[in-house]
Amino acid sequence: MGTHQSHDPSMVKNRIDLLKEAIHLGSNLIDTAELYGNGFAEEVVGRAISGVRERVILASKFNPKESVAKGVNKSIENSLRRLKTDRIDLYQIHWPNPSIPIEQLMSALSRLVDQGKVRYVGLSNFSLDGWKIAQSVFDKQLVSNQVEYNLLDRSAEDAMIPYCMDNGLTFLAYGVFNQGHVSVCRSHEALLIPMAEKYGKTVHQIVLRWLIRQAPVTVITKTESLARLRENIGASEFDLEDTDLEAIMNLSREKYDMVPLSRIRLNHHDPRVYSTLDAALENPLDLIPSPTNLARLILEQGILKPIRLRPLADNGAYELDSYDLTDQVKKYWAWTIAYGADASIPAFVGDVHRVNR
């Protein structure tokens, strides 16, 4: 949506109209964050929900700072102001921060619930171990965790989704279309395309329906198009036969490979990413989490963050996939910091492409 300093007013109007139409069509969860556009996205959401606030489950996220209580209080007050509301229904820790005491953070969030400024507290990008640690020092229920989940990265199925199922908690899935495109193995198309034709739907709708048929899963989608918005919402208006649902569940999962860091080439010239270890350690762009903090999470909480690679022509080397390049480079340096430049790191490599709408 841009930032306060740099945005297109016509584009902002488009986003507001889309959000209003989504609510009109029955969507009732809007997820945003103070990090998006440095708060500008929250302002746009606040304008979109004006007059229909009671029809919306409003979710936002904040990034905990070293000054815990002061930082949390400042974040919530700024978010409430930007969103033009007196409460946030689901307030999520955007990323775990291993540099701050989790006990202080959860105590500050408990006070926000007691004050009525927050209805429920959730997490985002936490490992299952991290979730359990946070819950152990929180006097209320952590109701959800927001994690990437799609046909390419199905690691949440190992423990996170079963944990939510067993405990009546919500799994919020983001990145379901990998920035607008379904990323699949080519072999998956043999199932998904005929299935879409069978139901008279798109492959994207089939994938969405598969996701939301799983009891604890709520899907977060993003679009700039009214037609795509209606297509996404249409995924809730039909059902998959049990045999088809099972067929998708049984699709072979992409296994990550362990690739030596020495074989990965950072062939990019994008000023938004770091090309040296010194820059990654310094983190001048204030990436959240920083490569150093992400390295600590990998080591201390078992967070698994495979990167995405494309093989270079017949020389045994790889380059980073262009999908969310800033994030891919951050993961690269986090693994380097965690295990050293001679390590091998988890990576999705192989016959993966994107199914366009």
Helix (H) or strand (E) holding 107: helix 102-114
Sheet with strand 257-260: strands edge to edge: 257-260, 344-349, 307-311, 318-320, 264-265
For residue 212, what are the CA distances in angstroms to 49, 98, 197, 208, 322?
24, 32, 20, 6, 28
One digit per residue, the tens of pLDDT, for the chain of length 357 reads: 777 777 888 989 999 999 999 999 999 999 999 999 889 999 999 999 999 999 999 999 999 987 898 899 999 999 999 999 999 999 999 999 998 999 999 999 999 999 999 999 999 999 999 999 999 999 999 999 999 998 888 889 999 999 999 999 999 999 898 765 665 667 788 899 999 999 999 999 999 999 999 889 999 998 889 999 999 999 999 999 999 999 998 886 767 889 999 999 886 677 778 989 999 999 998 888 999 999 999 998 878 888 888 888 767 899 888 777 888 899 999 999 999 999 999 998 865 555 666
User: What radius of gyration do the chain's Cα atoms show?
Assistant: 21
Is the CB of residue 268 less than 8 Å from the CB of residue 320?
yes
pTM of the model: 0.91
| Residue 109 confidence (pLDDT) | 97
pLDDT at 300: 87
- Burial environment of residue 154 by CB neighbours within 10 A (0 to 12, 13 to 18, 19 or more): middle
Structural domains of the chain ordered from first start: 9-249 (3.20.20.100), 257-355 (3.90.1530.30)
